[in-house]
Structure 1
Amino acid sequence: MHRSGLIELEVVMAVMRQGSFRAAARELGMSATAVSNAIAGLESRLDVRLFHRTTRSVALTEAGQRFVARVGPALQEIRHATEEIHSVADEPSGTLRINVPQAVGQLFLDDLLVRFLARYPLMRLEIASEARMIDIVAEGYDAGIRLAESIPQDMIAVPLTPDIHMRVVATPEWFAAHGTPQTPEDLYQHQGICMRMSHGGIYRWELSHHGQHYAIAVPARLATTDLFTSIAAVRAGLGVGFLPGFYIEDDLRSGRLVSVLDAWTQPFKGLCLYYPGHRHIPLGLQAFIAFIREAV
Structure 2
Amino acid sequence: MTRPSFNDLQAFVTVATRRSFRRAADDLSTAPSTLSHAMRALEERLGVRLLNRTTRSVAPTQAGFELLDRLQPVLTGLDEALEAVQVFRGTISGIVRINAPRLAATLLVRDILPTMAERFPDVVVDLVVEGKLIDIVAAGFDAGVRLLDSIPKDMIAVPFAGEVSFICVASPAYLERFGEPATPDELKQHRCIGHRVPSGKLYRWEFERAGRTMTLDLHGSVILDDEELMVDAAISGLGIVYVASPAAEAALQGGRLRRILAPWAPASEKIAIYYPGHRAVPPPLRAFLDVVKARRSE
Question: Is the pair's TM-score, using the shorter chain for normalization, greater than 0.5?
Answer: yes
Q: Which residue of 2 aligns with 1:167?
A: 167
1:137 aligns with 2:141: no
Q: What per-residue deviation string (whole Å, max 9, x for no partner) do you get for residues 37-75 of structure 1?
A: 456677897756578763xxx587898999978866664
Name structure 1 gaps, 5 residues minimum: none
C-alpha distance in 2 between matches for 1:174 and 1:50: 58
Q: Which residue of 1 aligns with 2:10?
A: 6
Q: Which residue of 2 aligns with 1:78?
A: 78
Q: Superposition RMSD on alpha carbons, in Å? A: 3.1
Measured at CA, do residues 276 and 52 of structure 1 come closer, stay the same or move farther in structure 2, by a change above 3 Å? farther
Q: Secondary structure at the match of 2:241?
A: strand
- Shift of the alpha carbon at 1:115? 2.3
Instruction: Please tell me whether Structure 1 or Structure 2 has the larger radius of gyration of its CA atoms.
Output: 2
C-alpha distance in 2 between matches for 1:33 and 1:96: 28
Measured at CA, do residues 125 and 12 of structure 1 come closer, stay the same or move farther in structure 2, by a change above 3 Å? farther
Q: Secondary structure at the match of 1:221?
A: coil
| 1:180-191 map, 5 Å | 180-191=180-191
Q: Secondary structure at the match of 1:138?
A: coil
Q: Which residue of 1 aligns with 2:268?
A: 268
- Shift of the alpha carbon at 1:81? 2.4
Q: Percent same amino acid among aligned pairs? A: 31
Given the two structures, how large is their TM-score scaled by the length of structure 1? 0.83
1:295 aligns with 2:295: yes
C-alpha distance in 1 between matches for 2:215 and 2:66: 37
C-alpha distance in 1 between matches for 2:165 and 2:89: 44
Given the two structures, how large is their TM-score scaled by the length of structure 2? 0.83
> For the Cα contact (< 8 Å) 2:103–2:246, is it kept in 1?
no
| 1:63-102 map, 5 Å | 75-102=75-102
> For the Cα contact (< 8 Å) 2:49–2:61, is it kept in 1?
no
The one-letter code sitting in structure 2 at the alignment partner of 1:9 is V
Measured at CA, do residues 23 and 236 of structure 1 come closer, stay the same or move farther in structure 2, by a change above 3 Å? farther
- Shift of the alpha carbon at 1:220? 3.3
> For the Cα contact (< 8 Å) 2:83–2:283, is it kept in 1?
no
